[in-house]
Amino acid sequence: MSDKKESAAAASASAAAAPAAVAAVGGKKDEPKPLSQQQQTIRLLRSHVFIIRKGVVQQDGRLLIRVLRQLTAVRAKLTQPVLRALTKQYLPALTKTVDGLKDDASMSDVAAANDEEDLSPPVAVAASSASSEEKKGESKEAAAKAAAEQAEVERKEAELLAAEVAEVDVYIQLLVALYAYDHGHKDVSVSLLSTLFKQLAAFNRRSLDPLSAKIYSFYALATEQEGNQAEIRNQLLLAHRTACLQHNEPGQAALSVCILRSYLSAHLYSQADTFRLKSTFPEQRSNAQTARYCYYIGRIQAVQLHYSDAFASLTQALRKAPQKAAVGFRQVCTKLLILVQLLMGDIPERSLFSPRDLRRSLAPYLALTQAVRVGDLATFGQVTSRHKEVFDRDGLESLIVRLRANVIKAGLRKINLSYSRIALADVAAKLRLDSVEDAEALVAKAVHDGVIDASIERATRTMVSREVADVYATSEPQQAFHRRVQFTMQMHQQAVKSLRYPHNVGGKTKNEWESDDDEEDEDVIAGNAPDKREEDKKKDDK
C-alpha cells in the first residue's frame, strides 16, 4: 500500500512539473500515441476481469451480467495475440493452447502494450480515489474525512486486485473456446468446453450461474456441429438435474433449450414432450432463451395436432425475438407459424410476408398460402412439387402433407357460399376428386366438423346450403372478445413479472422505506414534497 502511495505521489509530481517545462521551452505538449485495436481490446478485457472480481467480492451479480452482455462484441475483436497476453497474465496454464491456434495477426502491437498498465481500477474508480487529493483549502476535518475515505477506497481496490476467483478463469477459458470455434479449431473448442462443462459440476456458486448458461449453450452447439449431439444428451440431462437442485435458474433455462433441441433434431417428439411436461421452465431467464423455448414447444405442439397452442407459442416466440436481428430464427419461426395458421383453417395476413429480410425466404410459403386460400388441389400440387426441396430442407414436409384436407375445406367453403344447391358430382368435379363417393364423404365430414353449414339430400345426391345467419347473433364475437381479453391479461402478467426494483431508493434500504408512511415516501421520490428527515437534520445543525 505504501508503494502505491509513493508511486502515486511521484506520478502527480511529474504531472505537475510537465506543464512548467513545456512553458519554459515554449513548445507544444506531445500528444499521446493512439492505442491500436488490439491494445484497446486488451484493456477492455482487463476491465472485464476487474468487474468480474468486483462483482464476486461484493456479491453483485449484475456486474457479471453486464460483462456477458458485451460477449458478442468482444468475440468479434478477439485475436491470438490478445488472448496470448490475457492468458499469460491471468491463466498461464492455457498459454500453450492459445499458441497452437494459428492467427495471421502480428504481435507488435501487444508487445508495445505494458502487461501491467491496465491492472489499475477503471477510470471511474481511479478518479474517485484521486479526487480527494485534488481538494485544497478545505478544513482539517474535511481533509481527515477525505483521507479516511481514500484509504478505504484503496483498501477495497487492493482487495479486488488480489482476489482470485474461479469466475475469471472460466471467463478466459470461454473466450479461448469461442475464438477456437470461430477460427476453425472446433476440436480444440469442444475439448475446452467439455472441460468447462465438467468443472461446473464441482462448483455451487450463484455468481457462476450466468457463465454456466453460456457454457452449456456453446457446448451443445459445438458438439452438434461435430455430429455428437446424441452422445452428450445424458450429460445435459444430468446437468439439468444438478441445476434444478442448486437453483441455478439461468443454467436450467439454457439446458432445457439444449435438451429440447437435441430431442427434436433426432425427431424424438414424444421424449421432448415428456421432458417438457416433467420439467419447469424457470422464470429468471433471458428473452433469447424464452424465444427458443417457445419455438421448440410450438414445434412439438404442431406435430401433435395442437394447433391453437402451437400458434400461441410461436407468436410468443416471435414477440420475444429481436425485431431487427436474429433473421434466421425469425425465418424458421415464421415459416412454422404460417403452416400452423393454415392448418387451423385461417389465412395468414399479407403483412407476415412483407418484411424485407424475410420476403425472399417466405416466397414459397406465400405461393402455398395462395393455393390453400383458393382451394384448388391442382395448384396446391404444383406448388408442393415445385418447392419440394425447400420444404424438405426446412423439415416441414410432414405438415404440408396435412394441408390437402384444408385445401378441400377451403374449396367447400367457396362452393357453400356460391351455391344454395349443387350436385355432389359437380362438387367432385370442382374439387377434382376421384369419385362422387369421396365428395360425399368429405362434405359429410365438413358438415360434422362445422366447416360449412349445409346438409346432404341422399335421394338426389345434392348438397343444400343453408342461409348464412347474422354473425352477431352467434357466440363468435363473444369468443373473439374473450381471446383478446385473455391475451391482454397475459401480457400484463408478463410485464409485472419482468419488473425490476432498485436495491436502494434515495440512500435507504427496503426495510426503512417500509417503515415510513407510503404516501409521504411517494411524494419525496417524485419531488412533490420536502423530505422531513432533511428538515430535521437542518434543525439539529442550527
Q: Locate the domains of the chain by residue range.
A: 36-132+141-167, 207-402, 405-468, 501-541
Q: Terminus-to-terminus CA distance in the chain, angstroms?
A: 41
| Per-residue buried b or exposed e for 339-363, using 16+ beta carbons within 10 Å of the residue's own CB | bbbbbeeeebeeebbeeeebeebbe
Owner of C-alpha cell 451479480:
61
Residue 285 has a pLDDT of: 78
Instruction: Give the CA distances from residue 426 to residues 180, 377, 421, 441, 463, in Å, rounded to whole numbers and listed in that order.
Output: 66, 15, 11, 14, 10
**What are residue 508's DSSP bridge partners?**
505
Residue 469 has a pLDDT of: 63
Which residues does the chain have with pLDDT short of 70?
1-33, 102-140, 143, 146-147, 149-164, 467-471, 500-542
Q: Do domains 207-402 and 405-468 have the same CATH topology?
A: no
Residue 111 has a pLDDT of: 44
**Is-contact 433 442, C-beta < 8 A?**
yes
CA 54/CA 181 separation, integer angstroms = 29
Q: Is CATH 3.40.640.10 the classification given to domain 405-468?
A: no
Q: What pLDDT, in 10s, does the model give residues 287-333?
A: 888 889 999 999 999 998 888 889 989 998 888 888 888 888 889 99
Q: What pLDDT, in 10s, does the model give residues 88-144?
A: 888 888 877 877 776 544 444 444 444 444 433 344 433 343 444 444 445 667 767
- Residue 445, exposed/middle/buried by CB under 10 A (0-12, 13-18, 19+)? middle
**What are residue 456's DSSP bridge partners?**
463
Q: What contacts 533, CB < 8 A, 6 or more positions away?
A: none
Q: Does the CA dihedral 425-429-433-434 come out positive or negative? A: positive
Residue 22 has a pLDDT of: 42
Residue 156 has a pLDDT of: 61
| Per-residue buried b or exposed e for 45-84, using 16+ beta carbons within 10 Å of the residue's own CB | bbbbbbbbbbbbbeeebebbeebbeeeeebeeebbbbbbb
Q: Against a cut of 0.85, is the pTM above it?
A: no
CA 213/CA 219 separation, integer angstroms = 10
Q: Does the CA dihedral 111-112-116-122 come out positive or negative? A: negative
Q: What pLDDT, in 10s, does the model give residues 198-225?
A: 888 888 788 888 888 888 888 888 888 8
Q: Which CATH number fits domain 207-402: 1.10.10.10, 3.40.50.300, 1.25.40.570, 1.20.210.10?
A: 1.25.40.570
